Amino acid sequence: MIEVQEASLQSMLEKAINEAKQNHTARIMSMTKQINKADPIAFIGAGENLSMDRGFWGSTSEGFYIAGVGCAHEITAGSNRMDEAEKSWQKLRDEAIIHNPYKKPGTGLVTMGGMSFDPLSQRTSLWNNFPPLSLTVPEIVLTRSAENCYLTINVKVNGIDKASEITQRLNKLERSLLTHSSALPDDVTIEKKQEVDPESWKQTVRHATEFIKANKADKIVLARKLLVKLSDKSAVSTILYNLIEQQPNSYVFAFERNGDCFLGASPERLIKQEQEEVLSTCLAGTAPRGQTKEEDEQIAQSLLHDEKNRSEHEFVVKMIRQSMVHYCRAVNIPDNPVIYPLKNLQHLYTPVKAVLKEKHSIFDIIDKLHPTPALGGVPTEESLAFIREHEQLDRGWYGAPVGWMDSNLHGEFAVAIRSGLIQEKQASLFAGCGIVRDSDPDEEYKETGIKFMPMLSVLGG
């Protein structure tokens, strides 16, 4: 990482071009500046007609947002994806020319994206635009916290580029993105909802319970898909605005690839990094919200004392503890869960704090934690094998880690639940639930129906 203390955009570009010329290879230049408060949703909306992919991350409870437009560089990886991605990211950081006097989370060189739930599962055409792992460095990044706002420009240059021409193009793009109207396109409406073979899904639940009763697994998470036809092509900016308004205490995300957009509002953090400190979340066990304060509290107390949900939650706590000790020290876990309330649902919640050991990274933690028992099952290999053979959908990026990292050793990844893939006038929504020995197929089907609600509500349902 080549740190530059004082610089203008053009001088930074000239330095990067000279480096590229001397080393006969492309160079990434990253420059961050502090700006007046800007609206990240308007920023994403401004990219709607630029034919450039966009990325978005919002931690609504913290008032923290990252909005990215364009792609200066993409990291992709195959079968050994965590190891490949870590090496590619480290090489990119080491060779980048960076001007970032702030070192705040989400500034400097930032990469955003995600990966598929299971790289070994059979892929379908639904997810053609989403590789098994894809992390992009956006060309322009807006980072907004509760206190400050920053703009980062990232650009890849080679030895024959002209700094003045690139500067002119980037300045024009910056003005276009920051002066866009904050008015949102109209909401779409849902014209048709199509359940995908519900009786077959319930039969798979029965098969899973038999598998568990035969002591071949303790828990298997099964997902299903809901197809939604929309009245018009939906605007990503409008959906994101609605998700932020309707889903407090969630991670709102969107990742666009060639016009297809995977987005959602997940309550479940997988891992957060702040230098050497890491924080994970056990979130398993689900119940609806009540219509009154009294009913809500009654449901919460029932959830806290429900044997099935507490057992499901303990699976996750135990697995995360075992995973974290491999790469961390000072692992701290409370003895009992608390209630984590959302608009439509409430969950059992236990935070896990730890300190990364030397020579380990956020990639190691992601690799060890994913899939958690809340998304795969217990034991992991047996449950994944059952899912590959019997689950009748391609999960793609659903249920997988999505998030961001920066060159200052900050980053955060969530589990991509409460989500959907938007393609023109169609949306594929996904929801899952944990199947255990005494699971009832009809009740599990109802639970997945509740979990579709966050996405249906922002699509006009």
Among all residues, which ones are annotated catalytic? 219, 268
Buried b (16+ CB within 10 A) or exposed e, 58-83: bbbeeebbbbbbbbbbebbbeeebbe
**Strand-pair category, 110-115 with 401-406:** antiparallel
381 is in an annotated binding site: no
Among 33, 18, 19, 43, residue whose Cα is nearest residue 153: 33
Dihedral, CA of residue 124, residue 228, residue 430 and residue 215, to nearest 10: -80
Q: What separation in angstroms does the CA of 423 have from each of 223, 231, 412, 427? A: 20, 13, 26, 6
| Residues 418, 430 contacting (CB under 8 angstroms) | no
Output the CA–CA distances (angstroms, integers) from residue 201 to 42, 194, 390, 391, in the order listed: 40, 14, 9, 8
- Contact (CB, 8 A) for 285 and 437: no
**Phi, then psi, of 296 in degrees rounded to 5:** -60, -45
SS3 labels along 96-149: CEEECCCCCCCCCCEEEEEECCCCCCCCCHHHCCCCCEEEEECCEEEEECCCCE
Residues 256/260/264/270 CA torsion (nearest 10 deg): -60
With 0-12 / 13-18 / 19 or more C-beta atoms within 10 angstroms meaning exposed / middle / buried, residue 183 is exposed
- 447 labelled as ligand-binding? yes
Dihedral of CA atoms 326, 212, 392, 448 in degrees, nearest 10, equals: -80
What is the spatial distance between Cα 123 and Cα 132, in angstroms, rounded to a whole number? Answer: 9
How many angstroms separate the CA atoms of 338 and 347, rounded? 8
Q: Residue for token digits 């990211």?
A: 89
**CA 273, CA 416: separation in Å to the nearest integer?**
18
Residues of each annotated binding site for Mg(2+): 312, 447
Residues of each annotated binding site: 312, 447
